[in-house]
Chain A
Amino acid sequence: MAHEVRTPPLQSATVAAGQSVVSPSLMDRVDAALEGLWHLLTSMRVAMVLMIVLAALCVIGSLVIQIPTGTGDDPLAKSQWLDGIRPRFGGWTTVMDALGLFDIFNSVVFRVLVAALTISLIACSVHRIPGALRTATKPRVDVGPGFFEHAPQREQIVVHGTAADTLATVRSVLKKRRYRVLAEDDGTIHLYGDRYRFMAFASLAGHISLVLILLGAIIGTSFGFKNQYFVVPEGSTVLTGTEDGLSLKLIDFTDSYNVTNGAPSDYTSQVVLLKNGQQVAAQTIRVNEPLSYDGATYYQRAFGPAVVMTIKDAAGKTVYSEGMPLDGSSTDGSNRSAGSLTLPGTGDLINVFATNGTSDTTIQPGQVQVILYAGGANTATDAKVFDQGKAQALGSYSVTFDREAKYTVLSISKDPGQLLVWLGALLLFGGFTLVFLLPQRRVWARISTRGAMSVLSVASLGRRDVALGTDFEDLITDIRAALQAPAPA
């Protein structure tokens, strides 16, 4: 470790006696600790280890079933979910849950690692800016003679000619290769050339883009609106919850299947959006064709059976006439689709069950069973099976099962962070692609005079590659050729 705690300076007894609050040695230690922290945060080794550990956690997250988003926050739903997977993991379920293995991406370890990597990304970028700026504007031209003896790529050429001529030749070769060339002369000629000098900034953009993406994701989850399960029966209008007075009406839902194999071929929800009753948008939503309106997007997610019912009270007044989604299922094991509603203003609860198939003897296809729990009582007040279109009395109500219908489930999302995420994605791809496509190239040269001849040393850093047909080799070939070419008359 490069950062040892520094020994505090010796102090004379008199001065030390007068100091009480913070001793300089403590200050020094804090200083050293901060410096050590900075060193850690800007260390590529640490960044690599963080990336590998995060990858390992992700492997766990992709192998072990993960609790659906939101379920983990509700203790009851969570324990039900855990019971559901208990057969698979047995006694380990509790242990694995305690370790957070079922919710890895929300676990403390995961969050801490992502935060550490993010801070490290920011620290690294800040750390690299001055160097990148210096390289772009005032690079070091004189790097000292040692560099030319140890650089990974280096070449020495003895030239018959003056140092000035050699400089001119090297300069013209570099210029032809579109290098920027800087030279200094202090008896020895120092020369620096680079190409794509701004690529360090593309690399910075690539790194910072990751911070942007994370920021966008945080903004999205903190300030966005998400309803993953927005149910609308055909013919009904439901408030979207995204903004005041905005509601969505489902005109028609159609699920189509391929005749060849019975696989689904299309799901379409024909909808209109109404703002205070006025139509503002209309579209047929499909799986890959969501509807966007005013920052919110509506996606096709699921569907199911619904029934259109009319319910009149004893006075003959219609209290309900709408599509009711049968989006639940019976709890008695008969596996019938079920829907439920409480009649407004009365507390009377109505449950509706559909048939579970042709073998169902109680409720036949084309029929529904309606059960009334007056005042929300525990035992049924009345229960009847209904044929389509025939009104029957149910308790004090008159109920008609008008027709079968469908409901659609849309997912609504309003994500103010999304723009940042896509911007980040663009920078991420663009930044790193540019770095790889047009890698920054830097060479240094030194020309000294030895009698009637001059000695040209060229060297380059080549940190990433040195062995295969590199740009450096090409450059040297060109320089040699140019030096041997007869001088123009």
Chain B
Amino acid sequence: MEKLSWYFVIASMLWTAIATALYLVYALSGLRATRMRTAGMETTTSSLGFASGPRTAAIGSYASIVGWLATATLFFALLFRAIATGHGPFQNMYEFSLAFALGVLVSYMYFERKYHQRVLALIAMPVALVMMLYAWTIPSTIEPLVPALQNNLLLTVHVAVAIIAYGSFAIAFGAALLYSIQPEGGRWGLPKPQVLDEIGYRAVVVGYPFLTLTIILGAVWANTAWGTYWSWDPKETASLVTWLIYGAYLHARVVRGWRGQRAAWLLILGFAAVLFTYFGNLFFGGLHSYSGLQ
């Protein structure tokens, strides 16, 4: 099962790479369509602002199919891994990185289905691919769980909700990044800034409750394992930082003077905080032991 899982990871990396390439071709084709339209030729524009040329739509739907394949393959990779280990993907960075990649892929595919903004894939797909490549470089050996981690159900749910939150925040980050590189009124046939602004918001609306739940479940676990629901552990603290930034963002969107670019900055900062929380173990390492037993 472990081997099988690994083959599926490789397959998913390949699919993700192909999907990225197809989405790029799709975006370039859209860009060409914008140019053609500027030159007065016949094109179509979706109601949400993305121009498309004659073949654009076809390329886009191939890209989506490959994207779904990448997602499904990675899902099975994690499923087989879970069968091999007997627990959810929370034991080491290898498992958690793959789960993160799956979170990004699932969120992207969901948002694509809902809002049809394929350009976001240009950020989401590479993020997922980088997480998988990163997983490749780190040890993946299956080891028995240390006593503190022997709380299968709670920790599996904790990680599952965390990756949904992180995946949605990756989408919000993508939208904010595309928003930030465009001048007012839009450019390069990208989705209208207003649309990107809203996708960012809706991604946070999905991610925020899941992040809240992640933190609460983490506190429940800390309380059953060590008897304190909050101990200002660096990882806990970093997740609180993330939560505060997205909390601030949710207010920014309705406060005059904070909408638009400033809110987009908060989304970028928020995703930086997500990565900080996620890779935290690497910098905090040694400062704070994760096991409660000496």
A303 contact set on B, CB distance < 8 A: 293
In the complex formed, the residue of A with least CB distance to B240 is A58
8 A Cβ contacts from A247-275 to B: 258, 260-261, 263-267
A55's partner among B147, B245, B254 (CB-CB below 8 A) is: B245
Is B234 in contact with A62, judged by CB distance below 8 angstroms? yes
Is A301 in contact with B293, judged by CB distance below 8 angstroms? yes
Is B248 in contact with A48, judged by CB distance below 8 angstroms? yes
8 A Cβ contacts from A56-73 to B: 58-59, 61-63, 65-66, 69
8 A Cβ contacts from A276-295 to B: 286-290
A467 within 8 A of B: yes
Is B241 in contact with A62, judged by CB distance below 8 angstroms? yes
A148 within 8 A of B: no
B54 within 8 A of A: no
A217 contact set on B, CB distance < 8 A: 230
B93 within 8 A of A: no
B61 within 8 A of A: no
Q: Contact size class for A?
A: 35 or more
* Closest CB in chain B relative to A258 CB, distance in Å: 5
Is A288 in contact with B227, judged by CB distance below 8 angstroms? no
* Closest CB in chain A relative to B284 CB, distance in Å: 6
* Closest CB in chain B relative to A295 CB, distance in Å: 13
Interface majority SS (helix, strand, loop, mixed), chain B: helix
Number of interface residues of B (CB under 8 A): 63
CA distance A52 to B228 in the complex (A): 26
Is A63 in contact with B283, judged by CB distance below 8 angstroms? yes
Hey, what's the 0/1 contact readout for B219-233 against A, CB within 8 Å counting as 1?
100011111111110
B208's partner among A62, A63, A260, A436 (CB-CB below 8 A) is: A436
Is B229 in contact with A263, judged by CB distance below 8 angstroms? no
User: Given the interface contacts A263-B143, A411-B227, A464-B254, does A52 sit within 8 Å of B148 by beta carbon?
Assistant: no
Residues of A within 8 A of B (CB): 44-45, 47-48, 51-52, 54-55, 58-59, 61-63, 65-66, 69, 105, 217, 258, 260-261, 263-267, 286-290, 297, 299-303, 411-413, 418, 421, 425, 428-429, 432-433, 436, 463-469
Residues of B within 8 A of A (CB): 48, 115, 143-148, 150-151, 192, 194-195, 197-199, 201-202, 205-206, 208-209, 212-213, 216, 219, 223-232, 234-235, 237-238, 240-241, 244-245, 247-248, 251-255, 257-258, 273, 276, 280, 283-284, 287-288, 292-294
Query: Which 8 residue pairs spanning A and B have beta carbons closest together?
Result: A287-B147, A299-B227, A62-B234, A62-B237, A55-B244, A433-B209, A51-B248, A467-B194
12 inter-chain pairs at a CB distance below 8 angstroms, sorted by A residue, are A58-B244, A59-B238, A62-B238, A62-B280, A258-B144, A288-B147, A288-B148, A411-B227, A428-B212, A465-B198, A466-B194, A467-B194
Query: Known pairs A62-B237, A62-B241. 16 more at Cβ < 8 A?
Result: A48-B255, A55-B240, A59-B276, A62-B238, A62-B280, A63-B284, A261-B144, A263-B143, A264-B147, A288-B224, A289-B224, A299-B227, A436-B206, A436-B209, A467-B194, A468-B199
